[in-house]
Amino acid sequence: MRAFWMLAATLALAGVAHAHAYLVSSSPAENALLRRPPGEVRLSFTEAVELRFSHFAVYALEVPNERWRDVRWLQEQAKALAEKALSAGGVKPAGRVDAGLKTQARTAENVLIALKPDLGPGAYVVLWRVLSVDSHTTQGFFVFVVEP
Ligand SMILES: [Cu+2]
């Protein structure tokens, strides 16, 4: 709790900067079509994020395989899932495939998310809501597909 108030005080003073933490790049990349399942996801933000006050998740997207290359359609499905997953209340979607954060720092621009081993073929959604060190919250998501 003490850490929270220290953070709040710091953030109140830091209210001048307006860069926000936006995603710069990721691995896998947005809309990547992968032959092998990745072991982790790396997200790079424009500024450092407070890991303990941020949320990251990766979900399997239940979609028929003939849709795996339909980027716009996948985007719509992913958006619906991300809204559900990031909403404050309600039932969280099933199918989480992330296995915790590999990044142990309190703040970081690059965040590594471990994945469960041997993800099967399919579409996956990476989503986040991050508190950046300048006190702003941003959120987003993207899709990648594993198609051996
Ligand atoms: Cu900002």
State which residues form the domain around 62: 2-146
3-class DSSP assignment, residue 72 = helix
The per-residue pLDDT for 127 is 97
Kindly give the distance from the C-alpha atom of residue 13 to the centroid of ligand 1, in angstroms, as a whole number: 13
Q: How confident is the model at residue 13 (pLDDT cuts 50, 70, 90)?
A: low
Q: Find the 9 Cα to ligand 1 centroid distance in Å.
A: 16
| Mean pLDDT of all residues in 94-112 | 96
Q: Say how far residue 115 (Cα) sits from the centre of its chain.
A: 12
* Number of domains composing the chain: 1
Burial class (CB in 10 A: 0-12, 13-18, 19+), 63: middle
Backbone angles phi, psi at 111, to 5 degrees: -115, 130
Can you tell me whether residue 82 is helix, strand or coil? Answer: helix
Q: Which region among 19-23, 53-57, 66-70, 98-102 has the lowest average model confidence (pLDDT)? A: 19-23
Q: Percent of the chain beyond pLDDT 70?
A: 88
Give residue 19 CA to ligand 1 midpoint distance, Å.
4
Q: What is the pLDDT of residue 4?
A: 59
- Domain containing residue 101: CATH number: 2.60.40.1220
Mean pLDDT for 43-63 is 96
CA of 108 to the centre of ligand 1 (A): 15
DSSP 3-state of 86: helix
- Tell me phi and psi for residue 30, to 5 degrees: -55, 135
Check pLDDT > 70 for residue 52: yes
